[in-house]
Amino acid sequence: MLQQWNSRLEKIMPLITPTSVIIGVILSAYLKDFSFLIPWIFAFMTFAGSLNSNFTSLSDVIRHPLPILVAMCLLHILMPLWAWSVGHFAFPNDALTVTGIVLGMAIPTGVTSFIWVAIYKGNIPMTLSLILIDTILSPLIVPYSLSLFVGERVEMDYLSIMTGLVGMIVLPSMAGLFLNQWTKGTVKKTLSPKLAPFSKICLGLVVMLNGAVVAPYLRDINLKLIGIIFVVFFIALTGYIFSFLIGKLIKSDRDTVVSITFTGGMRNISAGAVIAVTYFSAPVAVPVVVGMLFQQVLASLSGHFLTRYYNRKIVHLYNVEGVKKHD
């Protein structure tokens, strides 16, 4: 029954986050007092997602490090710099909005990218390794990225941010990793499938509660909010495009390109919203929460594009081989 639920939830993944944001905004008066639950719910999601990881997948990184290094540079150098540049061009005198835009790209890759990689048959060991490495390094990378791009203009409690990331992401991830290793992969087959549907439900809850916190800034539809929506959508879309092109540039195989596309395009946007809501003023959280509206939808569209691209390539190769044989 749980597997059936999980399968149904996977099919409606593109709708879960935008719907949850809308519900959170509408019911904010009733939900905002439960925002203290967000870090705990998110820690559970991270733990459930990490049950698929083990040290064996990390060993693959040592043998084939290039895709991981490229993905890390894309995630934490190219995209934050691109977000900062676009943000400054669109909102030159609004440090808080620019901070939120940069934060949306500085956070680690999304745990849910594993789901999309699995659906479209990408390189799963590489994806798990990247998620794990990026997650473990996030308490250092995220504050440093924010300090580098916006630190002089926005006051931040770096120690609190690092502590929050350790509690929400690193410790639950390590717990899932060691549990999988200790049980020799048994927990991946037994516990992980049972927790998978609850993890997706929790994703909706976290998004809903974050939406409730920033509801006052999302209810007032004005030119600035429309501008933020357009800019965040544009940056998120280009993130998937850049990831695909870079995967092709380093001459990766199909499975690796699929993995780089999803891990480079997606972000742990729920973690970003939690950080923004907890450690910054509400205007910083608005671009991050807005990003929740697009992430799963863009992932779905990217999956359809990858399928059509590689199917067309297979047909082309088949036709070429057929012509050669005929000749």
For the stretch 107-140, pLDDT in tens is: 888 777 877 887 787 887 788 778 778 877 887 8
Rounded Cα–Cα distance for residues 40 and 146 (Å): 24
Rounded Cα–Cα distance for residues 99 and 228 (Å): 12
Of residues 30 and 18, more confidently modeled: 30
CB 101 within 8 A of CB 86: yes
When the pLDDT of each residue in the chain is averaged and rounded to a whole number, the result is: 80
Local confidence band at 202 (pLDDT 50, 70, 90 cut-offs): confident
Retrieve residue 112's tokens: 């849910």
pTM of the model: 0.75
Residues in CB range of 137: below 8 A, 6 or more apart: 108
pLDDT at res. 21 = 79
Residues in CB range of 58: below 8 A, 6 or more apart: 129, 132, 133
Retrieve residue 62's tokens: 């040592």
Does 245 score more than 90 pLDDT?
A: yes
Does 320 score more than 70 pLDDT?
A: no
Mean pLDDT of the 278-290 span: 83
Architecture of domain 19-326: Up-down Bundle (1.20)
For the stretch 248-278, pLDDT in tens is: 998 778 889 999 999 999 888 777 877 787 7
Percent of the chain's residues with pLDDT above 90: 18
pLDDT at res. 198 = 82
pLDDT at res. 78 = 94
pLDDT at res. 89 = 93
State the sign of the Cα–Cα–Cα–Cα dihedral 22, 117, 57, 66. negative
Lowest mean pLDDT among 85-89, 179-183, 231-235, 269-273: 269-273
Local confidence band at 105 (pLDDT 50, 70, 90 cut-offs): very high
Helix, strand, coil content of the chain in percent (nearest 5): 85, 0, 15
pLDDT at res. 242 = 96
CB 148 within 8 A of CB 182: no
pLDDT at res. 326 = 47
For the stretch 290-315, pLDDT in tens is: 887 777 778 888 888 988 888 876 65
**Closest CA relative to residue 178, chosen from 132, 137, 210, 134:** 132
Rounded Cα–Cα distance for residues 134 and 97 (Å): 25
Q: Which residues of 252-264 are buried (b: 16+ CB within 10 A; e: fewer)?
A: bebbbbbbbbbbb
Does 53 score more than 70 pLDDT?
A: no
* 3-state SS, residue 71: helix
pLDDT at res. 314 = 60
Does 317 score more than 60 pLDDT?
A: no
Of residues 139 and 158, more confidently modeled: 139
Residues in CB range of 61: below 8 A, 6 or more apart: 68, 126, 129, 133
Does 155 score more than 70 pLDDT?
A: no
Mean pLDDT of the 173-178 span: 81
pLDDT at res. 82 = 95
Rounded Cα–Cα distance for residues 279 and 184 (Å): 38
CB 146 within 8 A of CB 156: yes
Of residues 242 and 155, more confidently modeled: 242
